[in-house]
Chains A and B, each alone.
Chain A
Amino acid sequence: MRYLPQTQKARTEMLESVGVSNVDELFVQVPKKAFIKGKADLPDHQGELEIERQMLSYANQNINAQSNRFFLGAGVYYHHVPSSVDHIIQRSEFLTAYTPYQPEIAQGTLQYLFEFQSFIALITGQEVANASLYDGATSMAEAGLMAMRITKRNKVCFGNDIHPQYTEVMETYLRNNEGTSSYSISEDPSKIEDGTACVFIQSPDFYGKPHGYDEWRKTCDEKGALLVVVINEIVSLGMLPPPEQADIVCGEAQSIGVAMSYGGPHLGFFACREKFIRQMPGRVCGETVDADGKRGYVLTLSTREQHIRREKATSNICTNQGLCALAFTVHMSLLGEDGFKQLAALNHEKACDLTDKLTSIKGITLKNENFFNEIAVQLPKGKNAGDIVQQLADEQGIIAGYPADDNTILITATEITTENGIDTLTIALKEILK
């Protein structure tokens, strides 16, 4: 009961002030049948020691990426996070603050959100960005809904190989919107249908291949569709050209500052052209001045939002990923121009090393010659990607990658990957494919 400061004496005094004799009298309006008799059928309270013991035993049942035998990516990436990032996000003033509704006492949060938006805009080559969304998948779904609002059209097009969970989430959102639909065109711009609200292009795509945008921009213009670029490895933008041609750039920024954490919390980001800001989903922070004329920041453009517009809002979003946005902002501040580019180049170099080693194995080929930090390795005929990934995990504790289809494993290298680790994987894979 260490989180409960009220004393029995205080409770008695307070009950007296309220004018009741026991606390149950305060619950008289609740139907009798809804009360738990006694207490819930769950264990009683425990101290830190017991809980740490239990949770550590759960944690130790998992194989974590610190093993140096980890090569999985597919939209979530294992990167190094500088120590000061975690120190700063655990400061009480950031960790235990609320959404900055009272800007006079929330300038810390508001200013880092403004800096976060600036970083996202700079990195993506877009004019503006919002203060974050839940994750990459929901950020893409929001982009699709926004494109439909702007164009007043009701179908979206998956232009290339997009993360399958992202397209699933988009489809879940569409299923609840009468008359809307989606379709795929496997990288063939000539298949874009009339009446398309937007074309999604992921780069690098789900199989790791980077894409250019000029041709897509041209075809989108001919069809009157918006071009939405989806990024789920944001480190790639330290090396690849920014998607300046896009109308909206959305995706996942977990790679900078945020742990993989079995899938969340991660960091959805959302950037677009300035002319669309009033259609943007989610929270936005803007610069203004206070009563003394001093620079300050507030949440703004709230007339788009649910608490004002209710059923006419651009989205129902309320909470964003504030603390993850802070982690990103601190990490990006540390990286700076040279560090961000160097980090990207390092990732690419490691992936080149990985590629050279793996393609030396007989029977292994690459699906794409071009990649950033993730490659799609094709296995010899008759070998099943899922089985091999499972076998490597169970027998050697190697998390080799993601079986994208029967024949293909997506394998990732980041700055954390070591030569030794790459050798371990190469030897194990060679052995298993014999």
Chain B
Amino acid sequence: MNSFALNDNDTTDTMDINDDTRGLNYDENLLFEKERTDTPGVDLPTLKGTSSRTGQPTRKNIGLHQVSEPQVVRHFVRLSTKNYSIDSGFFPLGSCTMKHNPRINEKVARLPGFAHIHPMQPESTVQGALAVMHDLQNWLAELTNLPGVCLTPAAGAHGELAGVMTIRRAHESQGNAHKNIMLVPDSAHGTNPATAAMCGYKIRVIPTKETGRVTVEAFKEALYADGDDGHDIAGMMVTNPNTCGLFETDIAEIVDLLHDAGGYFYCDGANFNALVGKIRPGDFGVDVMHINLHKTFSTPHGGGGPGSGPICVADNLKPYIPSPIVLKEGKQYRLERDGERETSCGRLKGYQGQFGMHVRALTYMMSHGADGLKRVSEDAVLNANYILSQLKDDYHVPFAGPCMHECLFTEKYQKENGVTTLDIAKGLIEYGMHPMTVYFPLVVNGAMLIEPTETESKDALDRFTKVMKKLAADARNGETEKFHDYPVSAPTRRLDEVKAAREPKLRWKNS
């Protein structure tokens, strides 16, 4: 830490300014290190002094700190200035769909009739909340053409769990409990194999390195690897468009083969932004799919959550989805009762899901409507193809386009001059932009996956491609050292992740 002394003309005192705050770059210590105040940052009513009826000793010293409200507000506002966000700039993180987050979503979710209702209130007192959920179920069913919708999963990975449990329950109910293998391409998100494993499935990997897509040949090889007709295959988990930004061109034929073998097609919905309002997954053979409301439908990412991952399934899987779902009987809405649908794979979360996110997502869908959502996928795909066209001479394109809503490059050309994908990412930070997704998918070396989304204008895309071209030129000119120092203008320099993992320090301790 820098420290220097500032001499004041009037006195001989020397004052140490022992932090790094300069201009608007704030150095901010931990809350626990602030000066302790006599009273807390809340004023609560005075206690009457009732004696305890807990039957337990009363806790004495917790070891918490104590500061005033202005200190708390300043602390968190200063911390906030160290974050990059979609509101402050271009955020082309592949497979994450960092699109504009409309504030009306926030306003509506905070209406007291939504924010201050309890999940176990009598249903007659929450008909409006159930109507919101029922509307959302209908919108999702229509947009996917998958009529069975369960809103309870809390995030994408949780939706995957819901979907794979649904598949497992279906096989068990249909006397196919022996089906214990899940086919997963090597380009899949890590959550796919992790989820299948949590549901007791063995993973069989479909290689896609050659083409960036699942080919019929590679699929057959995986499907029939045991020399039979796919007897033990429970299903496949494929993201479509896939994580290379490509639509799986052979999907129709692959799905037919899978269905003939009695397997189900789980489609990871992370990339639904390429299709929404224009193409329906239920019409290209998908049996079950999760939707990330925090991606496609603009509920904020919030620095890593809360998300929401409803699943949508084809008619034949409807009996097996988690409970509860919202039902409409006449004009009344109600939740499914515990155990009402015996074939359900069960309860996956407390209560009914991330209702606050359901409100936000429905608000967003209504804002765009059928006409706007179609435009969303078209602009998202056009924006990605535009970036691909602008950068294809500067960066190696592993698989030829057109791409869908994201485009994939590798570090191949830059590596020749010792510049890696990580260096390029840190270079983008230096130029005031959030990097793309790096080193994913794993099927190419040094992947750079760029998803611009539809909420960027051509100007924003042009500035990004200019910076990318400049970084490519610097790499070509052998200015390698410069890259290794990036970023120099961000709130911190590159962080030592090895130290963090080897000597884990996960909390503040009073020393």
Contact = CB atoms under 8 A, between A and B. Distances in A.
Contacts of A334: 40-42, 69, 72
Interface string A37-53: 00111111110100110
18 contacts: A4-B376, A23-B382, A29-B402, A62-B121, A66-B112, A74-B120, A104-B494, A114-B506, A134-B306, A138-B349, A168-B346, A239-B54, A241-B56, A263-B355, A309-B194, A316-B160, A322-B306, A334-B42
A72 B435 CA distance: 46
Given A82-B42, A287-B500, A293-B1, 5 more contacts: A72-B118, A78-B116, A137-B349, A262-B355, A288-B495
Contacts of B69: 82, 84, 334
Contact of B350 (A60, A105, A165): A165
A382 interface: no
Contacts of A45: 366-369, 371-372
Given A114-B507, A371-B54, A264 B351 contact: yes
B327 to A, nearest CB: 16
A123 B129 CA distance: 34
Interface string A294-337: 10111011110111111111011111111110100010111111
A342 B47 contact: yes
Interface stretch (B10-18, B244-252, B408-416, B471-479): B244-252
Given A78-B118, A287-B505, A371-B54, A30 B279 contact: yes
Contact of A98 (B96, B455, B506): B96
Contacts of B102: 3
A111 B62 contact: no
Given A262-B114, A323-B303, A94 B83 contact: yes
Nearest to B496: A288
A107 interface: yes
Contacts of A119: 64
B427 to A, nearest CB: 12
**Most-contacted residue by chain B among A55, A98, A415 (CB, 10 A):** A98
Given A19-B389, A241-B56, A102 B429 contact: yes
Given A5-B457, A262-B352, A294-B20, A60 B128 contact: yes
A381 interface: no
A326 B349 contact: no
Interface in A332-381: 332-343, 345-346, 348-349, 352-353, 355, 369-372
Given A122-B62, A163-B350, A316 B82 contact: no
A17 B73 contact: no
B165 interface: yes
Contacts of B203: 310-311
Contact of A40 (B119, B277, B454, B500): B277
A269 B391 CA distance: 44
Given A58-B132, A241-B56, A88 B77 contact: yes
Nearest to A401: B120
B83 A105 contact: yes
A181 interface: no
B98 A98 contact: yes
B28 A98 contact: no
B306 A58 contact: no
Interface stretch (B151-159, B222-230, B257-265, B313-321): B151-159
A287 B32 CA distance: 15
A421 interface: no
B115 interface: yes
Closest 4 CB pairs of A and B: A263-B351, A59-B113, A263-B119, A61-B128
A268 to B, nearest CB: 9
Interface string B357-397: 10100110111111111111011011101101110000000
Interface string A107-138: 11101101101110111000011011011111
Contact of B63 (A40, A44, A122, A316): A122
Contacts of A336: 37, 40-41, 64-67
A175 B495 CA distance: 42
**Most-contacted residue by chain A among B76, B128, B426, B506 (CB, 10 A):** B506
Contact of B390 (A17, A20, A285): A17
Interface stretch (A8-16, A219-227, A422-430): A8-16
A97 B83 contact: yes
Contacts of A420: none
Interface in B108-141: 108-122, 124-129, 131-132, 139
A333 B83 CA distance: 20
Contacts of B456: 5
Nearest to A324: B306
A139 to B, nearest CB: 10
Contacts of A166: 350
Contacts of A265: 154, 305-306, 308, 354, 356-357
B355 to A, nearest CB: 4
B231 interface: no
A305 B157 CA distance: 12
A64 B119 contact: no
A132 B305 contact: yes
Contacts of A185: none
Contacts of B45: 346, 415
A340 B40 CA distance: 9
**Most-contacted residue by chain B among A36, A96, A262 (CB, 10 A):** A262
Given A98-B304, A237-B59, A108 B79 contact: yes
A19 B400 CA distance: 14
B31 A96 contact: no
B35 interface: no
Given A93-B81, A265-B154, A342-B44, A76 B122 contact: no
B120 A402 contact: yes
A316 B195 CA distance: 5
Interface in A211-265: 212, 237-242, 252, 259-265
Contact of B156 (A35, A319, A320, A333): A319
Given A165-B347, A261-B356, A84 B59 contact: no
**Most-contacted residue by chain B among A36, A134, A286, A372 (CB, 10 A):** A134
A210 interface: yes
A66 B116 contact: yes
B279 A296 contact: no
Interface stretch (A150-158, A192-200, A387-395): A387-395
Nearest to A98: B301
Contact of B190 (A104, A283, A313): A313
B207 interface: no
A326 B96 CA distance: 21
Contacts of B88: 92-93
A107 B493 contact: no
Interface in B398-455: 402, 404, 425-426, 429, 434-435, 440, 454-455
